[in-house]
Amino acid sequence: MRKAAVKDEILKCAQDPVYFINKYVRIRHPTRGLIPFQTFKYQDRTIECLLKKRFNVILKARQMGFTEVVSAFITWLMLFHPNQSVLCLATKAETAKQVIRRVRTALKRVPSWLLIADITTDNKTSIELANGSFVKSIAKSADAGRSEALSLLVVDEAAHIDGFDSIWTGIRPTISAGGRIIMLSTPLGVGNVFEKTYTDATEKRNDFNPICVMWYEHPEHIS
């Protein structure tokens, strides 16, 4: 590819995460192995919200590919935006590591000319690029991320994290300097931080953008 074409393609990817993800991100399918990530309409809609809105709270059905979507968005953010600090908080250590594995898969399979920042740190819980951007995953903890100044905080299955009320009190200030939040979960009753955040968002009582994705929006769902 000519230098001018490479420059144009990098710029296009940097400006449009949906384009980058569909053309260059690879994911592991449970039966088909490593495949190109071809996003569905509801995933495109979600990515647009992640790009435009600072705070997003996502109520979702199970098995909708949101770990893949968030991981691909993190890959794009780190690769094309220097000095991004991303923290992923989940219910269990193994769940938290899933994002790291997916980001690693994506980064290691983009064309060499598109990997504009080399991987400098790569382990089970974190990945860092030469441009200063990094992603780290942790399981629930009372002091999770309290000392971090974050560009993006991802809370996976927020309704299912025991003691998340106190964790949330400590972790939310980490994005006070302009960082963003993606809080997502399947439902688990009422009264928890996730449910209250989502309900208040739908009624415009907080700054979160509510996203609801139902099971029937997945085109491969078998009814």
pLDDT at 120: 96
Stated pTM of the model = 0.92
Q: C-alpha angle 208/14/50, rounded to 5°?
A: 10
pLDDT at 142: 47
189 pLDDT tier (thresholds 50, 70, 90): confident
| 212 CB neighbour count, 10 Å cutoff | 13
Choose between 92 and 137: higher pLDDT: 137
Mean pLDDT of the chain: 90
Please give the average per-residue pLDDT across 179-192, as a whole number: 93
Q: Render pLDDT for 96-152 as a digit per residue (tens, 0 to 9).
A: 788 999 999 999 999 999 999 999 999 999 999 999 999 999 886 545 555 568 999
**Of the candidates 97, 121, 93, 87, the residue with the CA atom closest to the CA atom of residue 107:** 121
pLDDT at 96: 79
Q: Render pLDDT for 145-182 as a digit per residue (tens, 0 to 9).
A: 555 689 999 999 999 988 888 888 888 887 877 899 99
Encode the chain in three state secondary structure: CCHHHHHHHHHHHHHCHHHHHHHHCEEEECCCEEEECCCCHHHHHHHHHHHHCCEEEEEECCCCCHHHHHHHHHHHHHHHCCCCEEEEEECCHHHHHHHHHHHHHHHCCCCCCCCCCCEEEECCCEEEECCCCEEEEEECCCCCCCCCCCCEEEEECHHHCCCHHHHHHHHHHHHCCCCEEEEEECCCCCCCHHHHHHHHHHCCCCCCEEEEECHHHCCCCCC
pLDDT at 93: 78
| 177 CB neighbour count, 10 Å cutoff | 9
Please give the average per-residue pLDDT across 27-54, as a whole number: 92
Q: Name the β-bridge partners of 36.
A: 26
